[in-house]
Structure 1
Amino acid sequence: MKIAVTHPTGNRNVRAVMSSFQDAGVLAFFSTTLAINPDHYLLKLLPERVSKELIRRSYPLSYGLIRSRPMLEVLRNVLPKLGFKNAVAHETGFASVDKIYEDLDKATAAILNSENRKHKIDAVYCYEDGAVETFIAAKKLGMECLYDLPIGYWRSARNLLTAEKERWPEYASTLVGFRDSQRKLDRKDEELRLAERIFVASSFTAKTLNDYPGKLAPVEVIPYGFPPVVEDREYSLAHNRPLKLLFVGGLSQRKGIADLFAAVKNIGDSVELTVVGMKMSVECPALDVALKEHHWIPSRSHHEILELMRSHDVFVFPSLFEGFGLVITEAMSQGTPVITTDRTAGPDLITHGKDGWIIEAGSTEALQKQIEELITKPETIIAAGKAAMERAKQRPWEKYGQQLTAAIRRAI
């Protein structure tokens, strides 16, 4: 069995898929935009800051298995810094994320013909927004079309988040998903129509597909893995100090940020909130005011975020629409228990009251009540943190890749 994989940026879950496919000997090739060889001599000639940034786009693969198309991705990263922001404008910019996905999709479709002549390819594994052309070409060549949907279905998102515009009108501008054109939404539906097997990382994502108006291929839930578990986590009871809460994520009401600010304000001095995340590319005066009332950090490296997680008592992630929520697994791996909602991967990963807490999405009252309960019983935080680490040890990233590979073998 040989499988071709395509994704523009190769995030953590994509890397787990590729590593597993390579270990199993089934990876035909990986099609992406920018792929850096960490051993290339030119990296040594660049400033350290630049070379570190570029090395992030290297992959744990034999470079003979990588097909790259870097130009638009390079321009997307460089042009805004030179003042050409229109070049990357949502959907319309020639170097926008949307154009990059479509360009790579067309390029991968063209590659399939030549690669299939070298060795027979049995399937293509594609991700949302970058699969239509590849799937059409694959079907002509008799290949299976495997689809990965990393976030909930768009119609369900519209249904659930429209209510947020009325509940929190001052945060409505942060719900940027409503900007997507009908052409982009139709393209998402076409990808689902062409798919012959759909993989999602949470039960919530699978549930959102009930809003798809047509007939769907079989859907399989395989949760992502956890990062390596910290070895030296230390705890202290929050008896004589505020409970230290941490949020990491995009500063949007899709992530429930307004509910978090309201709950913390109602509780008062018994809690201390740190927020890590970038503002949306829109104006939101209410968000600006709220951030001034707390410790706001616009950005940190992945290593620094893990350190922050270890230095806080509880990680709070009240998202209203999340395909998974990698920050949940990251916090648990650091021994920091998580409060999250029933619209994330939380129900797939957390046993309420044992290794974390699940609350109703979109309920400021439920969030406030859960935080207040922990203030009165700080010893439960330590027990939940230790249990979270044990849960994380049971599911490393390798297990995710292995389960996905096994599921694909059964499907083909």
Structure 2
Amino acid sequence: MILLSHPTGNANVRHAALGLARAGLLGEFCTSLNYRETPALRRLLPESLRLQLRRRSFPSELAPLTRAYPMRELVRLLAPRAGLRSLVRRETGPFSVDAVYHALDRRVAARVAQRKFTGVYAYEDGADATFRAARRTGLTTFYDLPIGYWRAARTILTEEAEREPEWASTLHGNQDSPAKTARKDEELALADVVLVASSFTLKTLDAAPDFRGRVVLIPYGAPAPVAPPPPRERNASARSSRLRVLYVGSLGQRKGLSYLFRAADQLAGAIDLTVIGAKPMTPCAPLDAALARIRWIPSAPHAQVLTEMAAHDVFVFPSLFEGFGLVLLEAMAMGLPLITTAHTAGPDLISDGVEGYIVPIRSTSAIVERLDFLRRNPATRMEMARAAQLRAQQFTWDHYESTLAACVQTTLAAR
């Protein structure tokens, strides 16, 4: 039986838990917060906070196996609203993301000592104490690496800080302390199996000194469309119509945002750009200026994000360093062609020129060229949209769950 842990539990974590549970392999799922709304909470909490907390509600199927430790995470979520940002400062804040990860890691390590499990499954930055305890008791360690290896990231992001100094404050990976990066290396060294979701993440492990571990690549799944995409045919005969362009993700330069915003400026009057994502806590003047020129949605529930996707023509994701980019599959499922880079799961998901385009990182000109072509060629764009939606259907969460469960089961049986 597996002890699975993750503090926040995004979509891939939920489906990992469901896959293990449905295969009879999940002994326990430890997380920080499993929100259950009640009439009293609906009355007491502001709507914006309730929307945020609803994203932290896990399927009822997992309820009997879920153990939550909510207090530290609740303070992390509430402190910025109360103006107490020092409490959540990266690494040093007592209620920072790092502190939340480490606190849960320690609690899970204590659970491991009870010897009820045959393996542990943990994620980057939250596995060190868990894996150490697992080694002491002879348990198998499964390490999920949701983004590329840190040394590979540091090389690219250090270069980026030199190229785009005004955006450097948003390159948070460059600010990781030696203690944090050493912890990442220790987790990797203690892993029996490393799970990645893209060939790009797999490739970044080449930068890991002396790493010779077993790596398994299992791509994520796409959601079923919440509604049929709107009839984009209305633009088919209007060659001069404005192209509706969407980006969804965090608003830091690791995502290549300066290059997207410059492309939008060059295509002013020809495209309408919508950006969905929260600004980083550290100020960034060029980001603020860019957001003032476009349609910006700071936060949206997942259903609204999918609806926005269905209302646009193309999805641009010019990331410099990504583990997968789950939004890519979500956009494809909603019928959007992609413009993305080879430093994402893009090459695993699409063929260049069929369901979208793979462009070089840091290339405003390539983004401009592809967007302008799609604007001027609506028939081709619609062909790509149909191809993207069909391709997304080949990536299902059911497949992710069953493949991950089979990997875990086979590994445990071989030990």
Amino acid in structure 1 at the alignment position of 2:121: Y
> Does structure 1 residue 265 correspond to structure 2 residue 265?
yes
Contact 2:205-2:211 within 8 A present in 1 as well: no
Give the CA deviation at 1:87. 1.1
Task: Compare 363-372 and 248-257 and name the one that shifted more.
Answer: 363-372
Task: Compare 300-309 and 194-203 and name the one that shifted more.
Answer: 300-309
Contact 2:72-2:95 within 8 A present in 1 as well: yes
> Does structure 1 residue 217 correspond to structure 2 residue 216?
no
Give the CA deviation at 1:79. 2.4
Matching residue of 2:176: 180
Matching residue of 1:34: 33
What is the CA–CA distance in structure 2 between the aligned matches of 1:265 and 1:42, rounded to whole Å? 47
Runs of 4+ in 1 over 6 A off after TM superposition: none
Matching residue of 1:204: 200
**RMSD of aligned residue pairs (Cα, Å):** 1.8
Task: Compare 9-18 and 280-289 and name the one that shifted more.
Answer: 280-289
Amino acid in structure 2 at the alignment position of 1:358: I
Matching residue of 1:286: 286
Contact 1:192-1:216 within 8 A present in 2 as well: no
Give the CA deviation at 1:230. 4.6
What is the CA–CA distance in structure 1 between the aligned matches of 2:297 and 2:39, rounded to whole Å? 35
Task: Compare 280-289 and 98-107 and name the one that shifted more.
Answer: 280-289
Give the CA deviation at 1:270. 1.9
Query: Any residues of structure 2 matched to 1:109-128 within 5 Å, and which?
Result: 109-114=109-114, 116=115, 119=116, 121-128=117-124
> Does structure 1 residue 364 correspond to structure 2 residue 364?
yes
Residues 278-297 of structure 1 deviation map (CA, whole Å, 9 limit, x = unaligned): 22222222222222222222
Contact 2:239-2:377 within 8 A present in 1 as well: no
Task: Compare 50-59 and 295-304 and name the one that shifted more.
Answer: 50-59
Give the CA deviation at 1:269. 2.1
What is the CA–CA distance in structure 2 between the aligned matches of 1:310 and 1:63, rounded to whole Å? 32
Query: Any residues of structure 2 matched to 1:96-175 within 5 Å, and which?
Result: 96-114=96-114, 116=115, 119=116, 121-175=117-171
Residues 270-326 of structure 1 deviation map (CA, whole Å, 9 limit, x = unaligned): 222122222222222222222222222222222221111111111111111011111
**Distance change in 2, residues 1:292/1:163 (3 Å):** same
Contact 2:157-2:174 within 8 A present in 1 as well: no
Matching residue of 1:194: 190
Residues 97-124 of structure 1 deviation map (CA, whole Å, 9 limit, x = unaligned): 101111111110101122x2xx4x2210
Give the CA deviation at 1:350. 0.9
What is the CA–CA distance in structure 1 between the aligned matches of 2:244 and 2:206, rounded to whole Å? 38
Gaps of 5+ in 2: none
Give the CA deviation at 1:47. 4.9
What is the CA–CA distance in structure 2 between the aligned matches of 1:201 and 1:275, rounded to whole Å? 25
**Distance change in 2, residues 1:83/1:48 (3 Å):** closer
Matching residue of 2:344: 344
- Secondary structure of 1:262's aligned partner: helix
> Does structure 1 residue 394 correspond to structure 2 residue 394?
yes
Contact 1:244-1:314 within 8 A present in 2 as well: yes
Gaps of 5+ in 1: none
Q: How many residues were matched structurally?
A: 406
Give the alignment's TM-score, normalised by structure 1.
0.94
Contact 1:355-1:387 within 8 A present in 2 as well: yes
Amino acid in structure 1 at the alignment position of 2:113: N
Give the alignment's TM-score, normalised by structure 2.
0.93
**Distance change in 2, residues 1:21/1:379 (3 Å):** same
